[in-house]
Amino acid sequence: MSSNSMKDMRRIFAEWPVSIPKAGLVVTIFGESIPFSSFMLSGDLLLLERKTPDALGARRVLICFDAIHAIKILESIEMARFTAMGFQSVS
Protein backbone atom coordinates (compact mmCIF):
# COMPACT_ATOMS: atom_id res chain seq x y z
CA MET A 1 0.00 0.00 0.00
CA SER A 2 1.33 3.44 -0.83
CA SER A 3 2.02 6.03 1.83
CA ASN A 4 -0.90 8.12 0.56
CA SER A 5 -3.29 5.16 0.73
CA MET A 6 -2.23 4.45 4.31
CA LYS A 7 -2.82 8.11 5.23
CA ASP A 8 -6.24 7.99 3.55
CA MET A 9 -7.22 4.85 5.51
CA ARG A 10 -6.07 6.49 8.74
CA ARG A 11 -7.99 9.68 7.89
CA ILE A 12 -11.18 7.69 7.20
CA PHE A 13 -11.08 6.17 10.68
CA ALA A 14 -9.81 9.34 12.43
CA GLU A 15 -12.58 11.47 10.94
CA TRP A 16 -15.36 8.85 11.01
CA PRO A 17 -18.63 10.87 11.09
CA VAL A 18 -21.13 10.29 13.88
CA SER A 19 -23.86 9.92 11.23
CA ILE A 20 -22.32 6.61 10.07
CA PRO A 21 -22.30 3.67 12.51
CA LYS A 22 -18.80 2.59 13.60
CA ALA A 23 -19.32 -0.91 12.26
CA GLY A 24 -18.33 -2.89 9.21
CA LEU A 25 -15.61 -5.17 7.90
CA VAL A 26 -11.94 -4.47 7.40
CA VAL A 27 -10.39 -6.54 4.61
CA THR A 28 -6.67 -7.04 5.09
CA ILE A 29 -3.96 -7.38 2.45
CA PHE A 30 -3.94 -11.07 3.48
CA GLY A 31 -7.56 -11.47 2.36
CA GLU A 32 -8.93 -11.79 5.90
CA SER A 33 -12.23 -10.06 6.69
CA ILE A 34 -12.42 -8.66 10.22
CA PRO A 35 -15.86 -7.56 11.40
CA PHE A 36 -15.86 -4.62 13.80
CA SER A 37 -18.41 -2.88 15.99
CA SER A 38 -16.10 -0.15 17.31
CA PHE A 39 -12.51 1.05 16.92
CA MET A 40 -9.75 3.20 18.39
CA LEU A 41 -6.59 4.73 16.92
CA SER A 42 -3.00 5.01 18.12
CA GLY A 43 -0.49 6.38 15.63
CA ASP A 44 -0.38 3.99 12.66
CA LEU A 45 -2.32 1.29 14.53
CA LEU A 46 -6.04 0.56 14.52
CA LEU A 47 -7.71 -1.34 17.36
CA LEU A 48 -10.86 -3.10 16.17
CA GLU A 49 -13.50 -4.47 18.52
CA ARG A 50 -15.66 -7.45 17.52
CA LYS A 51 -19.15 -8.08 18.91
CA THR A 52 -18.43 -11.80 19.05
CA PRO A 53 -15.06 -13.54 19.41
CA ASP A 54 -13.31 -15.17 16.48
CA ALA A 55 -12.47 -18.90 16.34
CA LEU A 56 -9.61 -18.38 18.80
CA GLY A 57 -11.70 -16.31 21.22
CA ALA A 58 -10.24 -12.90 20.30
CA ARG A 59 -12.58 -9.91 20.56
CA ARG A 60 -10.02 -7.23 19.67
CA VAL A 61 -7.57 -6.94 16.79
CA LEU A 62 -4.64 -4.55 16.40
CA ILE A 63 -3.75 -3.87 12.78
CA CYS A 64 -1.42 -1.47 10.98
CA PHE A 65 -3.11 0.87 8.52
CA ASP A 66 -0.78 -0.32 5.76
CA ALA A 67 -2.24 -3.84 6.13
CA ILE A 68 -5.78 -2.64 5.32
CA HIS A 69 -6.91 -3.34 1.77
CA ALA A 70 -10.56 -2.29 2.03
CA ILE A 71 -13.34 -1.23 4.38
CA LYS A 72 -16.82 -2.65 3.89
CA ILE A 73 -19.81 -0.81 5.33
CA LEU A 74 -22.63 -3.20 6.18
CA GLU A 75 -25.37 -0.65 6.90
CA SER A 76 -27.61 0.60 4.12
CA ILE A 77 -26.54 4.24 4.03
CA GLU A 78 -27.32 6.78 1.32
CA MET A 79 -24.23 7.83 -0.63
CA ALA A 80 -24.60 11.52 0.25
CA ARG A 81 -23.70 10.81 3.90
CA PHE A 82 -20.22 9.73 2.81
CA THR A 83 -19.36 13.31 1.84
CA ALA A 84 -18.53 13.72 5.54
CA MET A 85 -15.63 11.30 4.91
CA GLY A 86 -14.37 13.42 2.04
CA PHE A 87 -16.03 11.59 -0.83
CA GLN A 88 -17.63 13.59 -3.61
CA SER A 89 -20.01 12.80 -6.43
CA VAL A 90 -18.62 12.75 -9.96
CA SER A 91 -20.89 13.89 -12.77
DSSP 50-75: -SS--TT---EEEEEGGGEEEEE--S
Is there a domain that residue 42 lies in? yes
CATH of the domain at 68: 2.30.30.100
Q: Distances from the Cα of 49 to the Cαs of 18, 36, 53, 84, in angstroms? A: 17, 5, 9, 23
pLDDT band with cut points at 50, 70 and 90 for residue 1: low
**DSSP-derived secondary structure letter, 22:** S
Question: What pLDDT score was predicted for residue 5?
Answer: 81
Give the mean pLDDT of 31-54: 95
Is there a domain that residue 84 lies in? no
Is there a domain that residue 46 lies in? yes
- Residue numbers of the domain that contains 71: 3-76
Please give the tally of structural domains in the chain.
1
pTM: 0.86
* Cα–Cα distance for residue pair 68/59, rounded to 1 Å: 18
